[in-house]
Structure 1
Amino acid sequence: MKHSRRAMLGAMALAPLLPRLAHAQEASLPPILFVHGNGDHSALWMTTLWRFESNGWPWDRLHALDFTDPLARDDDAVAQPMRSSSDDAWRELAAEIAALRARTGAARVALVGNSRGGYPIRNHVQLHGGGAEVSHVVTCGTPNNGIYDWEENAGREFNKRSALLRALNSGESQVVPGTAFLALRSDSNDLYAQPDGRYAGRPGVPTGVGPDSPALKGATNLVMPGVDHRETAYSARAFREMFRFIGGKEPDRLSVVPEARPVLNGRVTGTPGGIQTNRPVAGAVVEVFRVSPDDGERMGEAVHRRTTGEDGRWGPVTVAPDWNLEIVVAAPGHPITHSYRNPFPRSSLVVNLRPAAPPAAADRAAAALVRFSRPRGYYGIPRDVVLLDGAEPTDLPRGVPAGATAIARLPAERIGTAIAGLFNEERLVARAWPLAENRITVAELTW
């Protein structure tokens, strides 16, 4: 991932605000490379990066990658447009490891992967001799032993019978000597580690695996009760386990230490034909407004406006750590997306912006659509309190947390009004924009 020089300089200028470690101690902390899951992108690691920084980990020894095409193929051996094979993912990871080692001068790095992101990590360390350059491996909710064990779809990467998983899991141990392995998992709340095939598209059919599928023989295996699939990586609880495993001590805090003037940057990436990619979008117009936390109204003119170039970069923009924001993305071939966000307490280079996908057929009759999104976890009802526009959404599954987006479909009289979303203790207010103008509202939670 190429960094904007201005954003990097902004982060460097703010670095003295962090708790500083002695130089020798900083050098002893391995660089960490964070690897996202299937269909995802580096922005999901934003809060994790903030927590590491807030505990004194040097910001320039932390990096989150973006796979070009993050979605796995239906059959690992059969090419599909804008989807990646297990070898594609491994090659991109290996290049990122080499770049991080070269930039930091470190002999070894630590690797942390969520879900599918654990596969190229294990591929590199177990099958390609990468242990010599990897000190620690943390897999977070990775279906290490498959999502299912079926004769059907045997070529799919997530099948226990796939060539990749048979190669990774054929030995008595699933780790390698000299590299420390930690596998984080849920007790029974991970939708990709279920004995019933409901979440793999075949309800009532036994998967042949269970909640212990993410465990690794020979690793330190840790169960975090109640967490969902993404919370195995992006929650405060997961951060605590990563930090003490890699850093060798407990973190000082789980909260994020704010900076005086956060600098934000990232890329606009596209979803052509509804396929999630991390390919940059050129010619996207991005505007950033400060808005009222109470009703989402704009507080003055745009504080930032830029048209993306070939690299898709939309920033940098300097904000305050208590500003609610509306980020408007007008990207060719996508709906105009009005993304409402709670304050960014710290700088980030991974504020990646994916324009909203076009409305589904069932949503096109609405005058306005508000998508209430939780990218770093799923909504679990009744585990969580989830309210959108004053009511519990009826389109979210009950039981095992499996939905990350709730939708409010609004009549014409609600256009321009405030719509509040509540997830436990995080509240976010957005404004409804007219669907007839090809505009969609996204209220995106931070935590």
Structure 2
Amino acid sequence: MHTRRHLIAAGFASTLLAACTTTPVNQERPPIVFMHGNGDSAALWQTTIWRFESNGWPRDKLIAVDQPFPLARDDDTVVQPGRSSTAESMAFLKAEVDRALKTTGANKVILVGNSRGGNTIRNYVQNGGGDQVVSHVVLGGNPAHGIWAVKGRQERNEFSGLSPFMQQLNAPKNGNGDEVTPGVKWLTLRSDNNDKYAQPDGIWIGAKGTATNIGFDGPALKGATNVVLPRVDHRETSFSPAAFDATWRFLTGEAPRTLQPAPEAQVVLSGKVTGLGLDSRDPASGAFVNNLPLTGGRLVVFAVDTTTGARRGPPAWEQTIAQDGRWGPFTAQPNTSYEFVLGAPGYATTHIYRSPFPRSSSVIQLRPERIPEADRDARALVILTRPRGYFDAERDTMRFDGQAALPGVPPKGSGVSSSKVKLPSDAPRAVASEFNGERVTGQVWPAAQGDVSVLELTY
């Protein structure tokens, strides 16, 4: 797997990070609140939480939050249905931190954020009173100086380096010109040149050949400990083994015992079922993601053969989703692969195949798919998705239904996290995938009957 690459990268930062610790390992662990990025959910922190647990951080001190409307507005000053402003995002995080402090009895909290989550954290610490209750901040792939800084291009969007929001965040805080709020320990993690949102060229923002005026070092902040993780992509700045290694060293001053999740004897799974909102600009698209509970759906879970995706017997779990959208708790068998079948009005019946779960998790998000009009001609649809990272044809070893070149994944660059095959036949058969050693196999289901298969990678 690509773990070795991450281990090497993390090693470069070891000495620097060990010098920054203010949380000795022999003291009681403070709570950590994890803030996801734009359009994402708490589920992305699953493997990070596993790694913290496997190194001794108490499970009840690891809190991944779900912002109801995780997408930023096009214009931060204009109300936009299904989207959140910087002020709304900050208020959400403040409430979650207050809840974590009350629940745990702690007087300080650690904040860890990915991408847009870093904007929210910085805003809260600087402008929402967070400097009084936050001891450490870790920002992975945060567009700290914007994704673009182009005059006339959405200058009131929070991702513009010219926006009033970004300008006030980056205003010097002292005579040294530090960009971070004093009194808090700051760590930024970034890629050397492989983060799609820290690129000098606008290829990933629909402006190929146009300068963004943002460099590869855009996520770095003056006054913070800034660490470079070679070849990681935008999401891997937070969710990779290398990111965990750097974070653990920064928080404790010591190397972690392990970078991999330690298996548990009993695995209990739960999470939330969410849906898709409507894009206000195109009501037919269903393009808006949100983290609101999807109620009234039906979940059925089957144990499946790891190599073929075929069901191994009757359902292992069945449940109608209630008003809170929560599902579980389901006691899973170690070393067993599962198919999660999710049906809900207005959605395709979605068959989600996952690798075996080595540990318990309460942040497993399940979201049914819709079949786009452009795919109605397919007899069967199979989607391969990697929520915690992107596919990189130059870097990764990949196969999807026998193809080394994944459909929809460009030959260069790390900016696509899903691939889809449209099959000319819906005859039952196995569809296999592999990504850097992780293998997920599912079964074909007929699109004409409203079914879609999803192979979801964990790592």
Q: TM-score range by the shorter chain?
A: over 0.9
Which residue in 1 is equivalent to 2:411?
Answer: 398
Q: Residue 241 of structure 1 aligns to a residue in which SS?
A: helix
1:352 aligns with 2:360: no
Q: Identify the range of structure 1 (330-339 vs 282-291) with the bigger mean alpha-carbon deviation.
A: 330-339
Question: In 2, distance between residues paired with 1:161 and 1:25?
Answer: 41
The 5 Å alignment of 1:63-102 reads 63-102=63-102
**Whole-Å separation in 2 of the counterparts to 1:415 and 1:337:** 17
CA-CA distance at 1:26 after TM superposition: 7.2
User: Where does residue 410 of structure 1 map in the other structure?
Assistant: 423
TM-score, structure 2 normalization: 0.90
Match of 2:327 among 305, 314, 327: 314
Deviations 1:36-92 (A, max 9, x none): 100000010000000000000000000100000001111111111111001111000
TM-score w.r.t. structure 1 length?
A: 0.93
Task: Name the counterpart of 1:433.
Answer: 445
Where does 1:246-261 land on structure 2 (aligned, <5 Å)? 246-261=251-266
TM-superposed deviation, 1:438: 0.9
How far 1:361 sits from its partner (Å)?
3.4
- CA drift of 1:25 comes to 6.4
Task: Look up the match of 1:283.
Answer: 296
Alignment RMSD:
1.2
SS of 2:273 mapped into structure 1: coil
**Which string of whole-angstrom CA distances, capped at 9 and with x for unpartnered residues, describes residues 110-153 of structure 1?**
00000000011000111223111000000000000000001220
Report the residue type matching 1:397 in the other structure.
P
Instruction: State yes or no: 1:164 paired with 2:165.
Output: yes
Aligned twin of 1:114: 114
2:340 aligned residue (313, 327, 342): 327
Counterpart Cα distance in 1 of 2:367 and 2:158: 25
> Offset at 1:199?
0.7
What whole-Å deviation, never above 9, does each CA across 1:394-413 have from its counterpart, x for those lacking one? Answer: 4201222011111111112x
Partner of 1:12: none
In structure 2, what is the equivalent of residue 443 of structure 1?
Answer: 455
Cα distance in 1 for residues equivalent to 2:248 and 2:427: 45
Offset at residue 355 of structure 1 (A): 1.2
Q: Distance in 2 between the 1:178 and 1:252 partners?
A: 29
Listed as ranges, the matches of 1:338-377 within 5 Å are: 338-356=351-369, 358-377=370-389
Q: Hey, what's the Cα distance between the residues in 2 that align with 1:228 and 1:441?
A: 26
Cα distance in 2 between the residues matched to 1:69 and 1:360: 22
C-alpha deviation, 1:329, in angstroms:
0.7
Asked if the contact 1:191/1:401 (under 8 Å) is kept, the reply is yes
CA contact (8 A) 1:371 1:408 kept: yes
Question: Could you tell me how far apart the structure 1 residues matched to 2:385 and 2:224 are?
Answer: 34
The answer to whether 1:303 aligns with 2:303 is no
Distance in 1 of aligned mates of 2:408 and 2:436: 18
> Partners of 2:379 and 2:458 in 1: how far apart?
27
**Amino acid corresponding to residue 221 of structure 1 in structure 2:** N
1:183 equivalent in alignment to 2:195: no
Looking at structure 2, the residues matched to 242 and 317 of structure 1 have their Cα atoms a distance apart, in angstroms, of 31
Q: CA deviation at 1:420?
A: 0.3
Measured after TM superposition, the shift of residue 248 of structure 1 is: 2.6
Give the AA of the match of 1:174: E
Q: Distance between the aligned counterparts of 1:87 and 1:321, measured in 2?
A: 43
Q: Are the counterparts in 2 of residues 26 and 57 from structure 1 also a CA contact under 8 Å?
A: no
Asked whether the equivalents of residues 378 and 423 of structure 2 are also in contact (C-alpha less than 8 Å), the reply is yes
Alpha carbons 1:29, 1:247 under 8 Å: kept: no
CA distance in 1, matches of 2:48, 2:234: 16
Contact 1:111–1:121 under 8 Å retained in 2:
yes
Distance of 1:174 and 1:335 partners within structure 2: 47
Which of 210, 228, 233 is the equivalent residue of 1:223?
A: 228
Structure 1 unaligned residues grouped into runs of 5+: 1-23
Aligned equivalent of 2:42? 42
Higher relative strand content: 2
Q: Structure 1 residues 213, 79: closer, same or farther in 2, change over 3 A?
A: same
Extract structure 1 runs of 4+ deviating beyond 6 A: none
The CA distance in 1 between the partners of 2:189 and 2:413, in whole Å, is 18
The answer as to 2:51 corresponding to 1:51 is yes
Is 1:380 aligned with 2:381? no
Counterparts of 2:145 and 2:55 in 1: how far apart (Å)?
33
**1:334 CA displacement:** 1.4
Name the structure 2 match of 1:207: 212
Aligned residues: 422
Alpha-carbon distance, 1:176 to partner? 1.9
Counterpart Cα distance in 2 of 1:77 and 1:434:
45
**5+ residue gaps in structure 2?**
1-23, 278-285
